[in-house]
Structure 1
């Protein structure tokens, strides 16, 4: 039997004391032009790291300070939020890819501005 509409609870606004990782948002855990979330021993993470390094070497003006790399296993909240989705790539705070990243997507994000992925994990 369905509950009457009047007995439904009103959704609560996000608690400002809870971090974005806990709320499940797609916000990078650190600041940086290009932020990579990964883990040691992850072959997909290594491939994305190599791709970003190659783009930075070919176009130093696009990634002048290199990428900021974060090990999701260094923090239980990060591991819980992103552990099944690494590698995760952010450009200017926007999630542009997880699991895989291709050169065209990275270059477009760096030159034309990042486009958020359609499905956020």
Structure 2
């Protein structure tokens, strides 16, 4: 069975919560809370609640998505037929940056791979 088949067979994977960075470093802390389900083609859903700084929240979601998409392509060569739902990010003005949000997305996919029994794929 291929890694993709193993991953798809493990779906849905819900409640994937990751945190990257730390309060003590200059890069800040970012969170990503996602669910992954089977779908007919790749779909990305922003289910984050409205935020008082919606522009910053959208920036975070956009960069979390870049991290998710890049990590999926790295493992499967293309975006698989799944629906990724982002339920929460942490749009804090001092911590939100492209790199940390992208790392949060990447780490969320890695955690989903571990849960699917594909820990050998994760660095």
- TM-score bin (small chain): 0.3 to 0.5
TM-score for both structures, normalised by structure 1: 0.33
Structure with the largest fraction of strand: 2
- Bigger relative contact order (CA 8 A; separation at least 6): 2
Larger Rg: 1
